[in-house]
């Protein structure tokens, strides 16, 4: 689970430069930002699923 979170943090850090470039008018950077956000969406969903599974597993153990 923590590996997914670390990957999310890394992706956000990598996208930061492209966000800045896009705000300065670089349209190609905007495409890279959209791609990175899609990847982050998928990673966030995977993390949510792992957290839910861990929560349910601990509930079953009680």
**pLDDT average, residue stretch 17-32:** 97
Interatomic CA distance for residues 47 and 52, integer angstroms: 9
Cα-trace Rg, the chain = 16
DSSP string covering the chain: -HHHHHHHHHHHHHHHHHHHHHHTT-HHHHHHHHHHHHHHHHHHHHHHHHHHHHHHHHHHH-
pLDDT confidence of 2, banded at 50, 70, 90?
confident
Percent of the chain residues past pLDDT 70, beyond the cut: 95
Could you give the 3-state DSSP secondary structure of residue 62?
coil
Per domain, the residue ranges of the chain are 2-61
**pLDDT average, residue stretch 37-62:** 92
The confidence score (pLDDT) of residue 59 equals: 83
């Amino acid at each position: 689970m923590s590996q997914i979170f670390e990957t999310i943090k890394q992706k956000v850090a990598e996208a930061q430069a492209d966000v800045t470039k896009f705000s300065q008018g670089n349209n190609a950077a905007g495409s890279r930002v959209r791609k990175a956000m899609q990847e982050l969406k998928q990673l966030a969903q995977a993390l949510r699923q792992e957290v839910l599974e861990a929560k349910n597993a601990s509930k079953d153990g009680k």
